[in-house]
Structure 1
């Protein structure tokens, strides 16, 4: 496995617990040391990692989308042999995956794109794996996916040819954006009425965990967050995005498929990062100009 990080390290540990032999490499030597302490074989370079694997080799990479993944796949293309496989478990854009799959196929190397969900909880709960690529290669490497999944017969599947895994994971993350936004908006409404009804948001969330149509793992995580900090006072309202939601919205535009909930959720994340956004100030200015409506002055004038 190349590129451990926290998620990659947890996946390595889960595979080791299932009895798989794992060779690991990461630019962060501390990550390699930690995995070696758990039973993995350490490598000091990509070339050494490949050399320590038995043919037919399978190299799982967990890297950020973009150039760094291209660089490592280019290096692996020159080191691996026909019949070997690369499994890309990162959140790559499926269009990049199609290109990389074609590049490797010219050398007889298989690319499986494994859309992976589970985050930091995957070690304990197992991962959801959406795998694209050659079916025979998938079947050969299926024990790996079974070891990472919540159970040998659930939580993973071969979803189609190369690119299908990352495409499916992209849509998965778009759905995740919309679900998170719906919970956020609902709890904000509840929080706004706390003064009138003495609402206990944590108790309400716990009630919804059982029997309700909106129960989910995301709701379980909301309960954990509210138990730790009922008013969420320790957090700012800044919400980042890692790119998959943008790709989902772009794809919906290209296909002409409306995705209003996912799109709105993505735009809300953009808005969360803006302080005193210009567009909102222009809205205030327009109301004042045409209707004489009151406006609030900004501290910018006195700074």
Structure 2
């Protein structure tokens, strides 16, 4: 007879996978779903693990199956559905209980909900869960935002089911209220940029060098053995090697080039702008997905073959990915100050090293750098300049070749522009300040003495 320690409401793809993960680690759970007739088939699929799972027909039964103080994890679509379920559970809960929102909620919604529930003595945890279905089933990376006492109760349950990196569970308490969902949002923003840059390199090899998908996949598989090693590079190699059984063509060539998005990448860009931070590589990736759905312009003339140097392309991709990570972590640092969150950038990098979609060797290199970065801008942290200088020339060559051949590389181009802007000892913002002062008397700072200044243009 199971003695549930945590309840899970929502038996979709992610909720089912998490439930089985708990059960496979010896953690008894109770489950329920909006469509109650999903529960019995889920228990059938669970096989021997069903002995650790208590099926419940509705929220009231789920609450009754749990010992007080209760832990109830919601794995349902974000937005209005979460508010509706909180309203459903509230009359059934008591002071000391904890609700865990493990979906991709907007962090501002989580902050609002946490404040409202705190007045009722009920804790709300915003739990970012990354890794897709396989991660949820076998070990995700998890970012928890909420009160420390809620973390103390959840830690013994979450650490066993989390991904492990050299014995270190990839789960951490990152801060209060919406901090966990914010960190997950930025993770997804970096994910957008990483995927877009990989796609741009794929496009250069396909349309510039004329390589077939299988050859490109073999190249990504080779890159996955070196500094570019990551889940996304490995996944790219695997999907490019796949063949469509109906046509015998590469599967990727049978897929329309229109990419969807669920909103977290866009949220990253919005929050970056709100915080006055640059997310240019991420914004370019979000824009590229939007452009993919637009009607096409007349075709350009065919370009001459691209001279391929696989090593230089790998370096270009390394530089672009590093810059996307720098921008993402800078957003996290700024948000920590804005919202008074104790975000530990090094620990965040560490829990992203396994389980999540952007797991990579790069994060393992960044974690100790962030731990020793102090208060300096992240792009000036020890070791970053050396990493950039080694690969930026290849990024410049790659972007220049792509532009000359009319092959779009928006994310790689944005990354290069960011690096070039910071490398300029004298930029062009002085002219912008002059323009602002000329038409709006906004003032400026002089180079030869401190304090505000104005000129009669």
Cα distance, 1:146 vs structure 2: 1.1
Query: CA separation of 1:41/1:184 partners in 2, compared to 1, >3 Å: closer, same or farther?
Result: same
Cα distance, 1:223 vs structure 2: 1.5
SS at match of 1:114: strand
Instruction: Work out which of the two has the higher radius of gyration on C-alpha atoms and give 1 or 2.
Output: 2
Contact preservation (8 Å) 1:89, 1:113: yes
Instruction: Say which of 148, 169, 176 aligns to 1:161.
Output: 176
Aligned to 1:88: 101
Spell out the pairing of 1:170-189 with structure 2 (5 A cutoff).
170-189=185-204
1:260 is the counterpart of 2:280:
yes
Distance in 2 of aligned mates of 1:244 and 1:231: 27
Contact preservation (8 Å) 1:129, 1:156: yes
Query: CA separation of 1:49/1:190 partners in 2, compared to 1, >3 Å: closer, same or farther?
Result: same
Instruction: Say which of 86, 102, 105 aligns to 2:115.
Output: 102
- Cα root mean square deviation, aligned: 1.9
Spell out the pairing of 1:281-296 with structure 2 (5 A cutoff).
none
Aligned to 1:301: none
SS at match of 1:141: helix
1:64 is the counterpart of 2:84:
no
User: For residues 194-252 of structure 1, what are the alpha-carbon distances to aligned partners after superposition, in whole Å with 9 as ceiling and x for unaligned?
Assistant: 448998112101100101x2221011111121121346122111211111111111111
SS at match of 2:255: coil
Contact preservation (8 Å) 2:123, 2:146: yes
Aligned to 1:27: 34
Cα distance, 1:31 vs structure 2: 3.5
1:50 is the counterpart of 2:99:
no
SS at match of 1:111: strand
User: For residues 31-81 of structure 1, what are the alpha-carbon distances to aligned partners after superposition, in whole Å with 9 as ceiling and x for unaligned?
Assistant: 422332321211111111111111111000011111010000122222111
Cα distance, 1:170 vs structure 2: 0.6
Query: CA separation of 1:48/1:196 partners in 2, compared to 1, >3 Å: closer, same or farther?
Result: closer
1:192 is the counterpart of 2:212:
no
Distance in 2 of aligned mates of 1:47 and 1:87: 17
Aligned to 2:292: 272
Contact preservation (8 Å) 1:170, 1:247: yes
1:118 is the counterpart of 2:131:
yes
Contact preservation (8 Å) 1:190, 1:199: no
1:222 is the counterpart of 2:236:
yes
Distance in 2 of aligned mates of 1:157 and 1:74: 28
Cα distance, 1:110 vs structure 2: 0.8
Contact preservation (8 Å) 1:13, 1:35: no
Comparing 19-28 with 176-185, which one deviates more in the overlay?
19-28
Structure 2, unaligned stretches of length 5 or more? 1-7, 244-249, 299-457
TM-score (norm 1): 0.86
Comparing 143-152 with 248-257, which one deviates more in the overlay?
143-152
SS at match of 2:252: coil
Contact preservation (8 Å) 1:193, 1:199: no
Distance in 2 of aligned mates of 1:208 and 1:30: 47
Aligned to 1:291: none
Aligned residues: 277
